[in-house]
Each structure stands twice: as C-alpha cells, then as structure tokens.
Chain A
Amino acid sequence: SAVISQKPSRDICQRGTSLTIQCQVDSQVTMMFWYRQQPGQSLTLIATANQGSEATYESGFVIDKFPISRPNLTFSTLTVSNMSPEDSSIYLCSGTSGRDYEQYFGPGTRLTVT
C-alpha cells in the first residue's frame, strides 16, 4: 500500500497568517488531492494537485486562498493563506495508487486559527 505523510501534524496559528502543509507520498501514487474536514463534517475536496502545473480547484476554493504546488510526483504543498477562525479544520492529503487504483489518505494536519 502507498504511504502518505504530512507535516505538521497540527498547528495553532494566528488570524491573518499563512501556513504551508507538506505532503510526501511514495512512488506508487500518481494522482494527489487535498481535502478539508471541518469539525464534525465530512471531507470536502479542495483541489487536485497537478504535477508541474496549476492545481484544479473545486467550486468554492480559489488559488489565492489555497495555493497548491506539486513540483514532482511525490511531493505537494497546500498553503492556507490569510487565515481566519473559519479555516480551522483538518487538512488531508490523498493519493491514488497507479498500481491498484486504491486511494490513500494521509494522517491529516489539524489546524486551529485563533
């Protein structure tokens, strides 16, 4: 199975600042995604991270607020910009294995904005 790691695992940030979350996957993963899970809610897809090009964002999410990079196959970052308390969530990195088409999830980054 694919292994996905994220860091930081959690952070407490002040309003107006930005946080960059890193996601590292092993070589089995081809496609990468970023999800948000707000407290007591389900997972919402933020965007598909495309290697070497701009991410594909879902309705309601914009690049200025959630810039995403994927410089190579195994690494991606999500930045939460100009944070507000409403951004307090768990942010999850996910990848699809190119071998068994399984979808794997990272452990998540728990973000609290004060």
Chain B
Amino acid sequence: AQSVSQHNHHVILSEAASLELGCNYSYGGTVNLFWYVQYPGQHLQLLLKYFSGDPLVKGIKGFEAEFIKSKFSFNLRKPSVQWSDTAEYFCAVRPNNDMRFGAGTRLTVKP
C-alpha cells in the first residue's frame, strides 16, 4: 500500500544538538511534500513545503528539508535545536489532491 513513513517515533536531544528526521514515501509520479509541526495543545503549523525546483527547501524557525527523488525521501533537518522545538513533527505527501500524513515523530529537547 502507498504510504508515508516516519521511522523515528520519538527523538530525544539536548539543546544545540543537530536534528534530522527521516521521511520516506511510496507514491510514484510527481508529489508535493510538506513538514508540519504541532506544539503541545496547539494545531498544525506548516514548517516548509516542496513543490518543485531546488530540492533543498528552507522553512521557518531554522528548519530545512532535502528532497531526494531517487530515495523517495524528504528529511527534515535543523543544525541546532532549542528547547522550544519540543513538539510533534509530521511529514505529509500530496500525490494527487489529497494530503497523506506520516505517523509523526515526537521530538523532546532537553534544556
């Protein structure tokens, strides 16, 4: 079945550590790719998106993601995390008109 996979369920880092969250998808053809963040008790917020062009996408709050078409991947990165980055992160893929979400990765940043 076609899917969006986030392999890390829970990541725990110390402040200033580097972050990389994996996202792989199994949809063929052209897709739009997204990363969303959900802070505790809040609703979804778009971090960044990729539609076309430069496969290295920069988003808000210092996040970036790289689309590697050959690997069907769209990994999220941040060079130095902060305690305020503690949240749930969702990768999402839009193969047609409807968006499909990964299971999410909970990030805990220790001060």
Which range holds the interface residue count of chain A? 10 to 19
* Structural contact, B104 and A94, CB atoms closer than 8 A: no
Which range holds the interface residue count of chain B? 10 to 19
Q: How many A-B residue pairs have CB under 8 A?
A: 37
How many angstroms from the CA of A94 to the CA of B36 in the assembled complex?
14
* Structural contact, B34 and A43, CB atoms closer than 8 A: no
* Structural contact, B97 and A44, CB atoms closer than 8 A: no
A19 at interface, CB cutoff 8 A: no
* Structural contact, A44 and B101, CB atoms closer than 8 A: yes
The residue from A42, A106, A107 contacting B101, defined by CB atoms under 8 A apart: A42
Q: List 8 A-B contacts (CB under 8 A).
A: A43-B44, A48-B98, A101-B32, A101-B51, A102-B46, A102-B49, A103-B94, A108-B43
Interface residues of B, Cβ cutoff 8 Å to A: 32, 34, 43-44, 46, 49, 51, 90, 92, 94, 97-104
